[in-house]
Amino acid sequence: MNDSLNDRLEGTLPITTADEAASVIDDGMTVAISGFGSVGYPKVVPPALDGHESLTILSAGSVGGEIDETLVNSETINRRAHFQSRPAIRDAINAGEIAFFDRHVSQFGDELRFGGGFNVDVAIIEAVSAGENWFIASTSIGHAPSIVQAADRLILEVNHAQPIALKTIHDVYERASPPHREPIPIDGPTDRIGDARIEFDPDALEAVVETDTADDPYTFRTPTPIDQAIAANLGSFLESEIQSNSMFSSAVSLQFGVGSLGNALMGALTEIEFGDRTVVYFGEVFQDGLLDMLDSGQLAGASATSLALSQTGQKRFFDAIDQYATDVVLRPADISNNPILIERFGVVGVNSAIEVDCYGNANATHIGGTHMINGIGGGGDFVRNSRLSIIALPSTAADGAVSRVVPMTPHVDHTEHDVSVVVTEHGVADLRGCSPRERATKIISIADPSFQNDLEAYRHRAVNANGQTPHDLETVFDWHIDWGK
């Protein structure tokens, strides 16, 4: 971007270098950073922390390799929360080298402010512009307002590689503190109720560092035949559901989890016939698939907290940002993931999981029940509070060698009480109104055919043991033990 200094910075600011800014941070401090969906994170000050020791790093969502690779490899981090997505930090967490705290996205901001186990010493935030007591965030907002309120000191990175026009899509609304917290005055998913600016105490501002470094965003795989089959099954189910369910008589609010499968499912929705219903997106991440829906006119608008786009998607969005600004809103994560708003808008939440069991419990975070992948993120917010909660996943992993439909998940993130529908490439299991035994029959029917006989054999053994939710506890985890060998 070819902005002049005055386009980005206003007033008298403590402009300095990344190294000088990093000197504000001492060993053992707790540092909260912006970033969500691998975008909008600070890019030059964190690498300058190489050489520090025993830092706690907090972020609302996934960030770039400058943090979760560079600082892991230099053994700078000893504690991390609450979401990450890179192999280096994942390996360190599972090796017990970094203590990891996982939490629902909607709750994390309040926990930083009101006693969630962390006292934030310094916040490092990426912005597109700043003044003496305000800044405008970049490609994600996440929990930046809460981070700034919680931190004793603040460092801003003003990034010239991010378009200053991002301010046209930001809608920052900060709620009062409990017990005087007011209802959120949003009547529709894309209503604007706030301001582009995030304000802070000017006495807290320690440094402003100018940067010109692009995000290192998601790389979405080309949809596989399995992705396409899942999308087709989901599409058929949604088409039938919106015709028969009075909740969707005039409008449909959708949410999709982050990642390649979620992006593929978004893109496939262009094939659904919504009639004259207003279709909106109300979720936490805005991904490439939504651009197609907006461009086709099928989507009336989108509300999120992060532009979790690929490099191609970012260019497409930035090149037409004036056009998209009328339809896209970025909010703080405690608004985008707010349980009351999710319920108010009757959101259809579509999220994925590592595995589901035959009664509808879903494991979204731990391989084998022990090894962390990324964290729960915002999936729990939408699975628990959506009017229609859907888990969509391939029926197998490891090139078909492992079933993702199992007798019992060794770790549970989303319980059977919150999951309404499960979709695989083999069909749809509508679990609403079903007893556990009925759910087992339906879920096994959409498992991979090569595993269905074994799952049925397990179900018969479990039923013989009786109980409301029958299990054969002597063999329930044999599948997981065998796969680990």
Q: Which residues are catalytic?
A: 284
What CA–CA distances, in Å, run from 392 to 237, 264, 307, 330? Answer: 12, 11, 22, 25
Report the Cα–Cα distance between both ends of the chain, in Å, rounded.
53
The residue with tokens 């409008």 is 251
Question: Cα 167 from chain centroid?
Answer: 22
State how far the Cα of 380 lies from the Cα of 351, in Å rounded to an integer: 9
Largest CA distance in the chain: 76
Q: Strand, helix or coil at 59?
A: strand
Phi, then psi, of 101 in degrees rounded to 5:
-115, 125
Question: What would the two tokens of residue 197 be?
Answer: 């600016």
Task: With H, G, I as helix, E, B as strand and everything else as coil, classify residue 230.
Answer: helix
**HEC profile of 134-202:** EEEECCECCCHHHHHHHCCEEEEEEECCCCHHHHHHECECCCCCCCCCCCCCCCCCCCCCCECCEECCH
Q: How far apart are CA 436 and CA 454, in angstroms?
A: 18
Give, in degrees to the nearest 5, the angle at Cα 154 between 148 and 159.
Answer: 95
Tokens 């309120």 belong to residue: 149
Decide: 331 and 141 in contact? Cβ < 8 Å.
yes
Q: Could you tell me whether strands 366-367 and 371-372 are parallel, antiparallel, or unpaired per DSSP bridges?
A: antiparallel
| Tokens encoding 40 | 């909008």
Cβ–Cβ < 8 Å for 383, 418: yes
